[in-house]
A = this chain, B = another copy of it.
Amino acid sequence: MEFSEWYSDILEKAGIYDLRYPIKGCGVYLPYGFKIRRYSFEILRKLLDETGHDETLFPMLIPENLLAKEGEHIKGFEDEVFWVTHGGKTPLEVKLALRPTSETTMYYMMKQWIKVHTDLPLKLYQVVNTFRYETKHTRPLIRLREIMSFKEAHTAHATKEDCDAQIKEALNLYGEFFDEICVPYIISKRPEWDKFPGADYTMAFDTIYPDGKTMQIGTVHNLGQNFAKTFELEFETPDGEKDFVYQTCYGISDRAIASLISVHGDEKGLVIPVDVAPIQIVLIPLLFKGKEEIVMEKIKELNSTLKSEFRVHLDDRDIRPGRKYNDWEIKGVPLRIELGPRDIENGQALIVRRDTGEKITVEYSNILEEVEKIVSMYKENLKIKADEKIKNFLTVVDFESDVNALSEKVKAALLENKGIILIPFDESVYNEEFEELIDASVLGQTTYEGKDYISVARTY
């Protein structure tokens, strides 16, 4: 099955996201999908909170004149902004944009709050819906008109050094987040022509989907003093001078969810990382006539034992076990535990891993410990697999000083290996002309195993 078909299919079958809403690019997070989102964003929130970011909530509507304040910024967004023009039947005096992102909103407010160096650093974030009038083909959780979950962080600093340090913190923090949700990535500095509108430069996280195309899953922007000058974010330095703040912003969206689904899924369905799995362990009683009570009693006991540490679900539906296995494999539940009369007699239980399909018979008396062990192997394995998956999609080519020869080589490598092609960094081909020549995207400047490359790929 083609990846894109698999993807649409699994969103529906596993109960992640329903796109049958009568607006293109707008859909519904279903209960199971929402739980994955909830656990994922809880991890992200925790990482942000621990590093001194404060969660806030800013308005969704932006007056036209405010959105247009930063020239480059508005140029980057004006074609894809939704406009509110009426309240009831009354035309509004000032058109209101649905936020495509919140720089202008937040920096307008920061001006009220930042007066003196002791007000800095200011590190804020919010998790909100944002909007893009996408004219391209939309794709659930990937390219939406309503991005349902956009975590955007915005920081302001007194010095360039603090600002640069913040970029590092953000990169580490995002790296940790993607590690925890088992999404592999490479980081690139986006080329000038592809940076965030209004930024000094943009660092980006890309992952690679099973079809070999890359997906941008997180961006970190160094805004320098550009927005600060536009929004007059001036403060008094310790020396009593005036200076503009230095700013960064960084974002992660629903694509994080799309990616953890896409990277690990297989032909049977989802394979969900333990920490974000709505159900971590499913219990299936094997009922035989006359033994139902014994089994149900034992499995309920097991349920309470495991519930102390895991999100457990006891599937006591009156259908045959095979159908249950199938249902939970589709939903990607990490572990399945089967318990039947013979297991009970033997003081055992059967654990089946979703990631490897491995069946492991364990001593019942020791089951919590056994489960913990297997869970940690599962986690480890998903991380290793994630790593392998991205490595298999990285191809280093030798540099050729002849541009045409180089571009042919890159095109051939892209055709054969897909994924990301790494070209030893060279200014002479680091430009949009080369990008056109290879008919693929330049992700940017990428450090890989200590060396500098130009990374190129076909992207989503």
Contact = CB atoms under 8 A, between A and B. Distances in A.
A133 interface: yes
A57 interface: yes
Contact of A87 (B18, B82, B87, B149): B82
A377 interface: no
Contact of A84 (B37, B54, B98, B108): B98
A20 interface: yes
14 contacts: A20-B109, A21-B105, A26-B60, A29-B58, A31-B54, A37-B57, A79-B89, A80-B88, A83-B84, A83-B85, A84-B98, A85-B85, A85-B86, A87-B135
A192 interface: no
A31 B124 contact: yes
Contact of A27 (B55, B59, B88, B131): B59
Contact of A54 (B34, B83, B96): B34
Contacts of A148: 57
A56 B31 contact: yes
Those 4 A-B pairs whose CB atoms lie nearest each other, nearest first? A87-B133, A31-B54, A29-B57, A26-B59
Nearest to A38: B55
B78 A28 contact: no
Contacts of A135: 87
B83 A56 contact: no
Contact of A23 (B23, B35, B59): B59
A359 to B, nearest CB: 31
A88 B78 contact: yes
Interface residues of A, number: 54
A56 B29 contact: yes
Interface in A171-188: none
Contacts of A84: 82-85, 98
Contacts of A21: 58-59, 105, 108-109
A290 interface: no
A124 B15 CA distance: 14
B80 A87 contact: yes
A-side interface mostly: mixed
Interface of A: 18, 20-23, 26-31, 34-35, 37-38, 54-61, 63, 66, 78-90, 96, 98, 105, 108-109, 112, 124, 128-129, 131, 133, 135, 145-146, 148-149
A395 B397 CA distance: 84
Given A31-B54, A34-B54, A22 B83 contact: no
A131 B96 CA distance: 13
Oligomeric state, in number of copies?
2
Nearest to A26: B59
A27 B105 CA distance: 10
A28 B56 contact: yes
B86 A57 contact: no
Contacts of A145: 61
A428 to B, nearest CB: 37
Nearest to A148: B57
B56 A109 contact: no
Nearest to A109: B28
Given A59-B26, A61-B26, A88 B98 contact: no
Contacts of A38: 55
A444 to B, nearest CB: 27
Given A57-B34, A88-B133, A63 B22 contact: yes
Contacts of A31: 54-56, 124
Which of A20, A31, A63, A112 neighbours the largest number of chain B CB atoms within 10 Å of its CB? A31
A79 to B, nearest CB: 4
B23 A63 contact: yes
Given A31-B55, A82-B86, A86-B83, A96 B23 contact: yes
A453 to B, nearest CB: 36
Which of A26, A57, A148 neighbours the largest number of chain B CB atoms within 10 Å of its CB? A57
Nearest to A27: B59
B20 A34 contact: no
B108 A22 contact: yes
B79 A88 contact: yes
A57 B89 CA distance: 28
